[in-house]
Chains A and B, each alone.
Chain A
Amino acid sequence: MINYLANPIRFLKFSKIATPVFGALTILTMIWGLYLALIKSPPAIEHGQAVRMMYVHVPAAWCAMMAYTALTIASVVSFIWRHPLADSAAKSFAVPGAAFTFLALITGSLWGKPAWGTWWQWDGRMTSVLILFFIYVSYLAIWSVIPERKKAARLAAILAMVGFINIPIIKFSVDWWNTLHQPASLSTPGAPGMPPEILWPLMMMVAAYSFLFGWLSLRGIEADIIRSRKARDQKAPAAQATIETF
């Protein structure tokens, strides 16, 4: 599958079908998920209506980390096999990834005010997600300041791989530092878990965010392939040779 899609032309054929499918799935799951989350699900006992913030906050944070992991995998592939499509993929994962990280920070801050009484707390989870945002920004900055595409791809890949150290820190920050942010309630074995009327909307929103991430990345890769092909097809401007006559 991956080998088959490694060819940009085949990939464009695949994405011609896959992109609209992802787009449609995003819209459907997003509408259904938002309906479940904002209207149908009950308010929580402790948090009241503010719990609805969770349905936009948790998926954004998950997708931010998923996007960075995907970005690192694409960077490894690009670094080892020097595959141009992996460069396009890594670059296209970064933009939605940065947006999700920003969204997670903003929604977390908006949720923190009613739940904890503060917009921001410098605890392990929040600080490490902020660092993740900085890493995304510097990753994108490398792409924008280095004009040679291949060199930019390699240098950005190196930065992305080094920056991956941060992902386990984010994941385990709530276990290592006992702070305001609540620990993982879904993936921890023995955790109390969630009642289905809260779990279902959350899962739906996670699906919606993931489809959105896939949709945006596919469109990004498509655009990048077309852009680089255009740049290649464009003939280099003929050198101006003038003979000065005195």
Chain B
Amino acid sequence: MISAIVRRDVRLALRSGGAWLYGVFFFAVFIALSAIALGGSLDIMRPLAPALIWLAVIFSAMLSFLAIFQEDFSDGNLAQYKISDASFVSLCAAKAISFSLVSILPLLLAAPLAALVFDMAPNVVTATFASLALSTPALAAYGVLSSAILAGRRGGGFLIVLITTPFLIPVLIFGLEAIAGYKSSGFAAVEFRIVVGLSLIAIAVGLPAAAAALNAHLE
């Protein structure tokens, strides 16, 4: 069932006329705006580049959170899942996977391009990519949770940012620490393990909580 939902969501995204690309455009705009705001000097931007890329990814992800359940909720698909004896936890897991594929994967692929713009050192690019990739499960799980809480709420854009921020702050902190740790000890840096741990906690806590939130909407 999980793979069926993932396939359906990916197909829907591909046939949406490029709506999945908006996140990447937002990412590019964010990078461009920060470069303009910082005056465009590479010497100033190079040390800040991992943080800027992380922020661009987090904001872009947060803005796409609301859409995770929006359509399924309004067109009655969610009620169908409920009737069809399927577990909401596996629905949430499927949604987390399809969100990672549709919304976060393009950002991950765009990150090395942003690294070119900032003239980052190759090992920093590797570390940035790795820390983003390892925290993708956390982003997706908390995204699914906040989207499930606010399902069917119109104009929840600011609110969803407010709700997810507390949960994403630790991920942001350790994601950036992992990049710093990579310089001295490579992938053995303890921060990478913390990032993986945060992702696992997010999956363990976020997905069942999201399933409970969906149930609360439908009772």
Closest chain B CB from A147 CB (angstroms): 10
Whether A158 is near chain B, meaning CB under 8 Å from some CB there, is yes
Closest chain A CB from B31 CB (angstroms): 24
Whether A77 is near chain B, meaning CB under 8 Å from some CB there, is no
Question: Per-residue CB proximity of A146-178 to B under 8 Å, as 1/0?
Answer: 100001001100110111011001000000000
Residues from chain B with a CB closer than 8 A to the CB of A154 are 212-213, 216
For chain B, the count of residues having a C-beta within 8 Å of the partner chain is: 22
Closest chain A CB from B212 CB (angstroms): 5
Closest A-chain residue to B210, C-beta based? A158
Query: CA–CA, A131 to B216, complex, Å?
Result: 26
Query: CA–CA, A70 to B110, complex, Å?
Result: 44
| Set B149, B153, B156, B217: member contacting A159, Cβ < 8 A | B149
Query: CA–CA, A15 to B89, complex, Å?
Result: 41
Of the listed residues B150, B166, B217, the one surrounded by the most CB atoms of chain A closer than 10 A to its CB is B166
For chain A, the count of residues having a C-beta within 8 Å of the partner chain is: 23
Whether A44 is near chain B, meaning CB under 8 Å from some CB there, is no
Query: CA–CA, A31 to B212, complex, Å?
Result: 46
Closest chain A CB from B193 CB (angstroms): 15
Residues from chain A with a CB closer than 8 A to the CB of B162 are 134, 137-138, 141
Closest A-chain residue to B215, C-beta based? A154
| Set A134, A161, A165: member contacting B165, Cβ < 8 A | A134
- B7-15, B68-76, B125-133, B201-209: which lies at the interface: B201-209
Q: What 7 pairs between A and B have smallest CB-CB spacing?
A: A154-B216, A138-B163, A134-B166, A135-B166, A131-B166, A138-B162, A155-B149
